[in-house]
Structure 1
């Protein structure tokens, strides 16, 4: 692969692209043309539009995310875990001439069936920038990934972000609420409850009861619910993985979201370092580009 290439994180709802030359990022662009928002256009047309002026026929493009799913451009097979990091760049799927899709990862056992797309590239970057025995990757569907320097051993997915959205927007918990406001105290109160409960489903209706009875401000319901769900997620997943408290864990997310998980992990006695998702993704895709070039 030449020293000039394009990296793309192509998800369901958005697309982000970076132009690299000699390892340096020259320019970046964003688009709302995720794979579920093509609006009748072909993936080839969207790619041409978002990379206009960036490439000629020989400029390679490396893509990760839902672009490789059955709803995307072309299916890029999942690598089964345990999966070696070195395999990520060795098993690319060709979508078009000089256009490649990075494979996702999967776990298929009786006790765990899981898939990921896009996060595997962030993992590759996180391993280089902030290595850890356990990576937490919050978002709509939070990934908890057990890995070492050579391979990804196992991972689980927790639908905390999506559940928060659904409960707030489409359930009785959020019915009739005013515009929600950030509030650290409400988040902390929810976090404390989430950390100590083994039965979060039994506590969810109490969120509604709390604001109906006047114990929880109606504009702070989102914050309390966020704390409750994240606290329970962190408590249950650390019980499952049993990470060493002497080794820092790595959270890969935006600063605001990473801070919430960091508070939960600190309350449980774990150290956690944070890394922005874009930084991890770019580091990961650069390593794949360099490996392919060798």
Structure 2
């Protein structure tokens, strides 16, 4: 293992950084200087600020996320699926000395083109810590990833998180509602509806009708809608799954329990790993590959 390296998860709105020494996290920092929030600063200046006091000339910096998009620091090409997990560490994009960006993944089929950026690093770590045939990565854009052996064969994106936000913030469903409170009962009611009736277009307005007619508490609309959307997502995406698949959820605890209830209702079991743990395990394996390279010409970041 490389003795010292810096790992950065650099998204659109936020940036998180970790300093590692001999496999141990010595320090961590976070910033709101996401790629869309640089406020006139260059990415190099932001990197310098977030790593102040951490970097020596030979300290590798490994970055993943939207920093590698066409709106980021430098475009890191997508690796088309099917792709071996080991290829992620050998196809890094160099930015400046000892600073690299992890590539994203893509599917090129005309029927369902797809891309991921940032999740591939979590996927790499989750495959090591919680091996499975399917990985479900909830968030703004939920990824459903198929893995066979050590190869990513396919993935799909479901915009459940973003749809929930848009409906609550910018549609009639959320208009005029009081502050929302956690309601597991409302979530479970929505979940049951979504699992049994995954054709959402005919169900969404019923959310408004329910609270207008008094059958759904106005302060529980968010959780009911969350259950409805997640239920429809899981019911739809599990239709073509194996009979008894191994499933790993990669997310924070707030989303893990919601998706687990959906899987349990359909008779599936799912193990879980936090997104941070998965990301750091993935970056650590990439750092090891960088450290084990033998020369500049064969350096994994040069590919």
Normalising TM by the smaller chain, what interval?
A: over 0.9
TM-score between both structures, scaled by the size of structure 1: 0.98
Distance 1:258 1:198 in 2: 20
Alignment check: 8 A CA contact 2:198 2:231 kept: no
Match in the other structure for 1:180: 180
Q: Is the 2:140–2:159 contact (alpha carbons within 8 Å) kept by the matching residues of 1? A: yes
Query: Alignment partner of 1:88: what SS?
Result: helix
- Could you say what secondary structure the match of 1:139 adopts? coil
Q: 1:293 — aligned with what?
A: 291
Report how far residue 3 of structure 1 moved: 1.7
Give yes or no for the alignment of 1:217 onto 2:182: no
Q: Is the 8 A contact 1:136 1:144 kept in 2?
A: yes
State the partner residue of 1:282: 280
Secondary structure, counterpart of 2:12 in structure 1: coil
In the alignment, the residues of structure 2 paired with residue 2 and residue 276 of structure 1 have an alpha-carbon distance, to the nearest angstrom, of 24
After superposition, give the CA deviation of every residue in 1:25-50 in whole Å (9 maximum; x if it has no partner). Answer: 11111111100000000000000000
Q: Which residue of 2 aligns with 1:237?
A: 237
1:153-192 superposed matches below 5 A: 153-192=153-192
Q: Which residue of 2 aligns with 1:63?
A: 63
1:33-48 correspondence to structure 2 within 5 Å: 33-48=33-48
- In the other structure, the counterpart of 1:252 is 250
Separation (CA, whole Å) in 2 of partners of 1:228 and 1:2: 46
Count of aligned positions? 292
Deviation for aligned residue 1:112: 1.2
1:147 equivalenced with 2:144 (yes/no): no
1:27 has 2:39 as partner: no
CA contact (8 A) 2:168 2:175 kept: yes
How many angstroms apart in 2 are the aligned matches of 1:19 and 1:199? 46
Q: Does 1:268 align with 2:266?
A: yes
Q: Secondary structure at the match of 1:230?
A: helix
**1:133 and 1:243 in contact (8 A); partners too:** no
Q: Distance in 1 between matches of 2:165 and 2:79?
A: 30
Aligned to 1:112: 112
Separation (CA, whole Å) in 2 of partners of 1:284 and 1:140? 21
Deviation at 1:243, TM superposition (A): 2.9
Question: Could you tell me how far apart the structure 2 residues matched to 1:3 and 1:264 are?
Answer: 42
Structure 1's 2 and 273: CA in aligned 2 closer, same or farther, altered over 3 A? closer
- 2:250 touches 2:278 (CA, 8 Å); kept in 1? yes
Q: Which residue of 1 aligns with 2:10?
A: 10
Between 1:146-155 and 1:270-279, the stretch displaced more is 146-155
Task: Work out the CA distance in 1 between the residues paired with 2:243 and 2:286.
Answer: 30
Shift of 1:198: 3.5
Does the 8 A contact of 1:127 with 1:149 survive in 2? Answer: no
Gaps (5+ residues) in structure 2? 293-303
CA contact (8 A) 2:16 2:30 kept: yes
Secondary structure of 2:145 counterpart: strand
Q: Deviation of residue 125 (structure 1)? A: 0.4
Residues 1:257 and 1:198: Cα distance change in structure 2 (over 3 Å) = closer
Q: CA RMSD in A?
A: 1.0
Q: Could you tell me how far 1:244 is from its partner in structure 2?
A: 3.5
Residue deviations 1:65-100, cap 9 Å, x none? Answer: 000001100000000000111101101001111100
TM-score (normalised: structure 2) = 0.95
Tell me if the contact between 1:134 and 1:243 (Cα under 8 Å) persists in the aligned partners: no
Deviation at 1:2, TM superposition (A): 4.4
Aligned partners of 1:250 and 1:272 also within 8 Å: yes
**Structure 1 alignment gaps of length 5 or more:** none
